[in-house]
Chains A and B, each alone.
Chain A
Amino acid sequence: MQTFFGIDYNTWWFLVIGAVFTGYAILDGFDLGAGALHLFLNKENSRRIALNAIGPVWDGNEVWLVIGGGALFAGFPEVYASLLSAFYIPLMIFLVALIFRAVSIEFRSKEPMKWWRTMWDVSYCLSSALLAFLLGVILGNVALGIPLDKDHIYRGDTGSFFNVYSIMVGITALALFMMHGAIYLVMKTEDRLYAKLTILVRRTTIFFVMAFVITSFYTLLYIPHLTNQVRNTPAMFGLPVIMILAIANITRQVARRRYMFAFLSSAVVISVSLIIVCLELYPTILFSPETPENSLTIYNAASSQKTLGIMLIVAAVGVPLVAAYTTFVFWTFKGTVKLDETSY
């Protein structure tokens, strides 16, 4: 087992992939959330501003999903193959929703007719909400585990994708992204739309806190393998505490109109939730509840040490580059949205 700074390559890859998906959740999270809120905005102009607030960045945000998928394929091909073929139908619906969402954003502004715009508004809002929900459901299933046989092939039925727990996580993810998106939109707007959005921030925050509390209780009571680590390592209790403080800080910063800090706090909430899931699973990635010996871990699912090493170099060169121009793009479009001839 090769190591880098005392940590083996497999763990590094687990961290890299975890970080990429966390980055994806923070970045695409706000534009999916903004999309899910779209129909709550009634005026044509409000909808245009909301759309243009995410306009220059949503595509770049989505790239993190592509990178995450590629990283999973390269680092843990067994997980990539088993997970994706297990959830065939939901993933196909996910892909079609991604297409519809991209197309809605792109096509909405191309015709002035009211029916045309309403049609794409509905499609944009529903596909965004569906994507946020499905991402949560996938996370819920990964956290819960899926039945695998000794060749790591999925041995459950398609219907089990939607179970009580995964639906709960799905709703929580939707609520979290809606809150996150609402805060992002508040940062990018002025005047009456801004006033309207501050109300939406409050409501989505309440929605999220409710969903979060219910899901957490359910996890604590019924899913022992997701609570072992925190039970054995009391220091980890700090994480839920940070999370609660971050949630509280969102409302505090919103009240003080420091939306940037509110946005960062909700990014902290997203990161900490994913960190908790990763820590509880580690070193397993895909748990097989009935037959734990068939679970996929960072050791039996990984590519060769050589490939992991090469890809770590690729990540070490690539990730700072991506971070640099992502920052540059966000910096270019900083400040509130002003519509001009290039807008949607």
Chain B
Amino acid sequence: MDVEILSRIQFAFTIAFHYIYPPLSIGLGLVMVFMEAQYLRTGNVIYEKMTRFWLRIFALIFGIGVATGIVMEFEFGTNWAVYSRYVGDVFGSALAAEGIFAFALESGFLGILIFGWNRVGPKVHFFSTIMVTLGSMFSAIWIVVANSWQQTPTGYHIVGEGLKARAEITDFWAMVFNPSSIERISHVWLGSFLAGAFLVMSVSAWYLLKGKYVALSRSSFSIALWVGVVSALLQLFAGHRSADVVAHYQPAKLAAMEGHFDSLKPADLYLFGWVNKESETTTGLAIPGGLSFVVHGSPDVPVRGLKSFPENERPGAVNFVFQTYHIMIAIGMFLIALTVYAIYLWWRGKLFEKRWLLWIFVWSVLLPQIANQVGWYTAEVGRQPWVVYKLLRTSDALSEAVQAEQVLFSLIMFTLVYILLFALFVYLLNKKITHGPYDDHNDDHSPRHMEMAESLTTKSH
């Protein structure tokens, strides 16, 4: 295998593995903010227990997220040196801004969040929870800005030629607010909220099914359910807006996502199907003229198909892009139905009687994760062969100084280390969940928090 394919596999593998964790941190952070706010508002100890319990899981997730995230930052330079030279002026700025505005914020306050229960007052602690969550959300802003710039480059000009060519910023804000930034950031945030909310709902549902920590689990579930239903519904709009941007700026990607080849006929919208790249056909269940309607508002207007693009400007793995995109859509729709139905039952006061539904929630924790993953596969495989859209090809972006054996070595190393890391993560997550929110010896209340809780309870009576 050559350097290109190995480097692509390594980047895909390390980023996909990394991306298990940040969405969970962002989403869980947000849910914890609501939990701790409830604690400060009501003074009910149950919310303190809840926050502390989820904080322990947050710490585990965050730790792996940081460790695997540093790998990403350095991989640009090690494996993609030409790319780094080309985009350094633009991408590097976004990355540096991420480090200084976002990453420092979350890592700084994380220490207080985890170790500070007995060192700072409840309000400062709550403030730290907000700062960590904001930090992780800012982090997403900058990294998605950097990625969006590669999808829809604006605010730059190209200087030099050949190996010396590179993009330089001409308008910083045009670079930050490039045509796809806002849509993609909101899409990523909502996907992250769903990941965090469904983790909380999954564990709470499991406790409820086992009849453990009932009061605590019901409250946790309800808080997370609200985050979940709002995010799932908003995601419908954010996702649609993202697809609009793709339709407008990356027609080849859209054509691959929808398995659409022929430019002359009105385009169908496939609910599911299979793309045959050789015969350039898609078979499956389709709404006739559906894609034309979604893109142009009329079922008769043709949509640009893959055949209209030169061979070397089409994404290679059309069926892969088609399938990942449709899996994402299917999961998104299912999550809307699930959360809306659950909220209806919650409102009627019958949610926690439906054991079958709770079982669905236990397993649904995987769905936002899968959707987040396949969504990114669609975005990144769909824009091939470009690493910077229409400007720099992935095959031209590699490090000249790096040989295939070296990449093979690092790829094997990362594979082994990440398998070990994932096994440890699952083991410890499972252990923390089995252990539950209460300690065997009841010493995990700090005296200060006990006092606070008591004084608040007495005040409210």
Interface, chain A (partner B; CB < 8 A): 52, 55-57, 59-60, 62-63, 65-67, 69-78, 80-86, 88-89, 91-92, 95-96, 98-100, 102-103, 105-107, 110, 151, 153-155, 158, 303-304, 306-307, 310-311, 314-315, 318-319, 321-322, 325-326, 328-329, 332-333, 340-343
Q: Contacting chain A: which of B74-82, B204-212, B227-235?
A: B74-82
The 5 A-B pairs at the shortest CB distance, nearest first, are namely: A77-B88, A84-B77, A56-B111, A74-B92, A318-B100
Partner of A341, one of B67, B77, B168, B443: B443
Kindly list chain B residues whose C-beta atoms are within 8 Å of the C-beta of A85.
77-79, 81, 399-402
**Number of inter-chain CB pairs below 8 Å:** 244
Asked if A314 and B406 sit within 8 Å, CB to CB, the answer is: no
Asked if B107 and A88 sit within 8 Å, CB to CB, the answer is: no
The answer, yes or no, to whether B409 is at the interface (CB within 8 Å) is yes
Kindly list chain B residues whose C-beta atoms are within 8 Å of the C-beta of A318.
97, 100-101, 104
Asked if B115 and A80 sit within 8 Å, CB to CB, the answer is: no
**How far does the Cβ of A312 sit from chain B's closest Cβ, in whole Å?**
11
The answer, yes or no, to whether B421 is at the interface (CB within 8 Å) is yes
**How far does the Cβ of A335 sit from chain B's closest Cβ, in whole Å?**
10
Kindly list chain B residues whose C-beta atoms are within 8 Å of the C-beta of A84.
74, 76-78, 81, 84
Interface centre among B67, B88, B400 (most CB of A within 10 A): B88
Kindly list chain A residues whose C-beta atoms are within 8 Å of the C-beta of B115.
52, 55-56, 333, 342-343
**How far does the Cβ of B297 sit from chain A's closest Cβ, in whole Å?**
40
**How far does the Cβ of B83 sit from chain A's closest Cβ, in whole Å?**
8
**How far does the Cβ of B249 sit from chain A's closest Cβ, in whole Å?**
24
In angstroms, Cα B151 to Cα A36, docked, is: 44
In angstroms, Cα B402 to Cα A329, docked, is: 41
From known contacts A67-B99, A84-B78, A341-B444, infer whether A332 and B112 are also in contact, taking CB-CB under 8 Å.
yes
- Taking A83-B77, A325-B105, A341-B439 as known contacts, 16 extra A-B pairs with beta carbons closer than 8 A to each other, sorted by chain A number, are A55-B115, A73-B95, A77-B84, A77-B166, A78-B88, A85-B78, A86-B401, A88-B78, A88-B410, A89-B406, A99-B71, A106-B64, A303-B92, A318-B101, A332-B112, A332-B120
In angstroms, Cα B120 to Cα A202, docked, is: 35
Partner of B60, one of A91, A106, A153: A106
Q: List 20 A-B contacts (CB under 8 A).
A: A65-B70, A66-B73, A70-B92, A70-B95, A73-B76, A74-B92, A77-B89, A78-B85, A82-B81, A82-B401, A89-B406, A99-B68, A102-B64, A106-B63, A110-B428, A151-B400, A310-B172, A325-B104, A325-B109, A329-B108
Partner of B406, one of A56, A96, A158, A325: A158
In angstroms, Cα B163 to Cα A123, docked, is: 42
Interface centre among A73, A153, A306 (most CB of B within 10 A): A73
Kindly list chain B residues whose C-beta atoms are within 8 Å of the C-beta of A343.
115
Q: Nearest residue in B to A323 (C-beta to C-beta)?
A: B104
In angstroms, Cα B116 to Cα A260, docked, is: 22
In angstroms, Cα B277 to Cα A195, docked, is: 72
Q: Nearest residue in B to A68 (C-beta to C-beta)?
A: B99
Q: How large is the interface on B (under 10, 10 to 19, 20 to 34, 35 or more residues)?
A: 35 or more
Q: Nearest residue in A to B168 (C-beta to C-beta)?
A: A304
Q: Nearest residue in A to B83 (C-beta to C-beta)?
A: A81
The answer, yes or no, to whether B96 is at the interface (CB within 8 Å) is yes
Partner of B89, one of A155, A307, A342: A307
Partner of A81, one of B60, B71, B81, B414: B81
**How far does the Cβ of A131 sit from chain B's closest Cβ, in whole Å?**
12
Kindly list chain A residues whose C-beta atoms are within 8 Å of the C-beta of B68.
99
The answer, yes or no, to whether B59 is at the interface (CB within 8 Å) is yes
The answer, yes or no, to whether B257 is at the interface (CB within 8 Å) is no
Asked if A326 and B108 sit within 8 Å, CB to CB, the answer is: yes
The answer, yes or no, to whether B91 is at the interface (CB within 8 Å) is yes
**How far does the Cβ of A100 sit from chain B's closest Cβ, in whole Å?**
8
Asked if B97 and A314 sit within 8 Å, CB to CB, the answer is: yes
**How far does the Cβ of B447 sit from chain A's closest Cβ, in whole Å?**
10
In angstroms, Cα B164 to Cα A211, docked, is: 42
Partner of A306, one of B110, B117, B169: B169
Kindly list chain A residues whose C-beta atoms are within 8 Å of the C-beta of B283.
none
**How far does the Cβ of A78 sit from chain B's closest Cβ, in whole Å?**
6
